[in-house]
Structure formats: C-alpha cells, structure tokens
Amino acid sequence: MQGADEVLAVIEDNAGRIRLNRPKALHALTLPMCEAMSAALTKWQSDDSVKAVIIDHAEGRGFCAGGDIRFLADGATRGGADSLRFFHTEYRLNYQLFTYPKPVVAFMDGVTMGGGVGISQPAKYRIATENTRFAMPETGIGLFPDVGGGWYLSRLQGRIGVYLALTGARLDGAECFALGLATHYLPAAALDEAKSRIAADPGEIDAILTSLSITPPDARVVHSIAMIDRLFASDVYEDILAALNDDGSEWAMKELATLRTKSPQTCKVALRQLAAGAKLTDFADDMRMEYRIASRVILLPDFVEGVRAVIVDKDNAPVWNPSTPEGVTPELLDAIFAPLPANQEWTPL
C-alpha cells in the first residue's frame, strides 16, 4: 500500500503497533499515511490475537507535527478537492480511533500538534514525557483546531481550551498531564519497556503504566488558570481582546500580542466551534461540523496566505483578509458553519 513505508504497522506479541515513520517532516500525516493507519486498524479489529493498539513514532523528535500543510495549501489553490479528500479520510481515522473497541495507547513523546492531537486524544491511554510539546496552532496559519478540537478543547476545565485554540500556546508533558490531555507521565527512558510489556500483556496496561509513571514537574499553565478563566471568559472575540487590553498586566499584554498575529477569521471560527462542540453528545457530529468548516476555510484567503507567511516564505507577516475581527461578520461565520449538500457531508467509515 502507498504510504506503508511511512507507517510501520506490525503485530508484536499481542498488540498491533502503528509507528509513524516520516522523521524529516516530524511525522506529519499524508493521505496515504491516514489510509494505511485506518486499514491496519480495520484489519486488527477482527483479529482476536490483537488485544490492544500502540501508536508511536519510529525515530526523530516528533510524535506527529500535524497534517501535511503544504499539500493542503497546494490543494486549496487547485479548487480544494485533494485537500477535502485528505480531511475526509483523516477525520474518519480520528473517529475510528475514538470508537475503537480495543484499548489504544498513544505515546506523545515529542511534538504533538494538529493531526498528532487527532490521533492521540481518542486513545484511552495518552502518555506524555519530558519531550512532549502539545499545541493546536492552526489560527496562526488561517486554519482552525480541527481533528476533534471542538470536542476535546471544549471539554477541558474552565476556559483553557479556548485559550489553547486561540493562542496556539504550547504545553509540555507535565502541563498535558495536569489538564487531562495525558493520562500518564513517564520518563522517555521508560517508553521501550512500557511498549514491550504492554505488547506482551495488554490486559495489564493500567498496572504497567502506573508502575512506570513518575511525578511530573510543576505544570506552569496551572498558575495561569484564574487569569485565563477571567480574561478568556467570553465567546465574543472582541470581548477577549478588550479584556486583555484592559487588564494591562505583563501576561495579558503578551497574550494580546500573540492574538494580534492570528487570523481574525479563524479565531472567531474557533470560538464558535468550541461553543458548539461543547453542546454535542456524539463525536461524529463534531467531525461533521469540522468537515463543514474545513470545506469552506481552506478556500478563503487566510489559509493559503498563512501557509505562505509561516511555512513557505517564513516572513511571519501574513496579510489577513478580513484584517480585523470586526470585519469577520456573523454572515461569514454562518456560511462557514452551514450544512453541506447531503451527498457532500462527512460520514464515518
């Protein structure tokens, strides 16, 4: 299968093991990689010898840096069909993992962003280490925190999810554990032992991970929760900007400066996405909503411009359109979130 060399899917003892193997791109996901992962999961679901699934990366410092953004931007300039094929397949993989009947263990050892969040957060066991760097930085490239961000981020305590979605703030492993984004915190040096023991005895995953867990360092983000809850309290983007400006503290000014670099359009999209996601009771409905958003956002100017500024030219000077939050009208947001024609909606496998 195409992409098989970039996804190593094998059975080790009693576990299926999916290893991302695209180290030069920090294991960023391509369409063939998503297809290969989904095919392996489908095959193992009916294989009684596979009692659990392990997801990790083969080498390098990233678990998974996201999706192949250049591919998506190139596809957007050609009408978006290739990009939408990727999103449809990736979201099916996310949903497949979310509903998988066997325990999944994801090792978030290294960069875990965007698409990497989408394949780790559905797992029953999510392992953070001292190398974990977790973020949903999409608003900085004119995209939005997809792959289930509307579900996972909206269910974090207080307004932390909104803060992460808007600012793209990076969390370390200790912070992921403190917020519940990780279920366990292990030293990276213990991961090989954890994986081999889990593969040998999948029925003892809880005991194995507990025995190898250590007390994480101080979770810095916890000290900011009160400020985040107060200053990011509104679902109106202009209110958040005003609250940060009026507060005037060093922390608030730093976060305000960060938000000024983000796409006003996708910041407003993210706020509405999380508010809607919090009310949903079925993960499939969240995936359907996010596919609708993706189908519109990739064809709007900010996505291609954001990729140009941050990833291609690297001048970090995107020219957003609309350029101000006030320019992002309710009518534009309504159009982005509107249902698709029935034959174009996202569906699970």
Average pLDDT on 24-30 reads 95
Annotated catalytic residue within 114, 115, 161, 277: 115
At residue 61, the pLDDT reads 82
Say if CB 28 and CB 67 are below 8 A apart: yes
pLDDT-derived band of residue 215, with 50, 70 and 90 as boundaries? Answer: very high
Contact 170, 176 (CB under 8 A): no
Q: How far apart are the first and last CA of the chain?
A: 19
Domain covering 4-213+220-344: architecture? Alpha-Beta Complex (3.90)
How is the chain split into domains, by residue range?
A: 4-213+220-344
- Residues near 238 by beta carbon (within 8 Å), at least 6 away in sequence: 325, 326
Closest Cα partner for 228 from 160, 166, 175, 170? 160
**The pLDDT value given to residue 226:** 97
For 171, phi and psi rounded to 5 degrees?
-110, 145
Given 90, 146, 172, 175, the catalytic residue: 146
User: Is pLDDT at 168 greater than 60 in this prediction?
Assistant: yes
Q: Which position among 67, 114, 142, 173 bears the catalytic label?
A: 67
82 is catalytic: no
What's the rounded mean pLDDT across residues 170-177? 98
Catalytic residue among 138, 175, 255, 302: 138
Calculate mean pLDDT across residues 280-295.
98
| Averaged pLDDT for residues 93-114 | 98
Q: What is the pLDDT of residues 35-61, one digit of tens each?
A: 999 999 999 999 999 999 999 999 878
Query: Is the predicted pLDDT of residue 144 greater than 70, yes or no?
Result: yes
Known catalytic residue at 146: yes
pLDDT for 3 beyond 70: no
pLDDT tens profile 298-313: 999 999 999 999 999 9
Rounded percentage of the chain residues whose pLDDT exceeds 70: 99
263: pLDDT strictly greater than 80: yes
Q: What is the DSSP string of 236-289?
A: SHHHHHHHHHHH--HHHHHHHHHHTTS-HHHHHHHHHHHHHHTT-S-HHHHHHH
Q: Is the pLDDT confidence value at 4 over 60?
A: no
At residue 70 the predicted structure's pLDDT band, cuts being 50, 70 and 90, is confident
Other C-beta atoms within 10 Å of 271: how many? 22
138 is catalytic: yes
Which pLDDT score, from 0 to 100, does residue 192 have? 97
Q: What is the mean pLDDT of the chain?
A: 96
Q: Tell me the C-alpha distance between 346 and 213, whole Å.
A: 39
pLDDT tens sequence across 311-323: 999 999 999 999 9
pLDDT of residue 1: 46
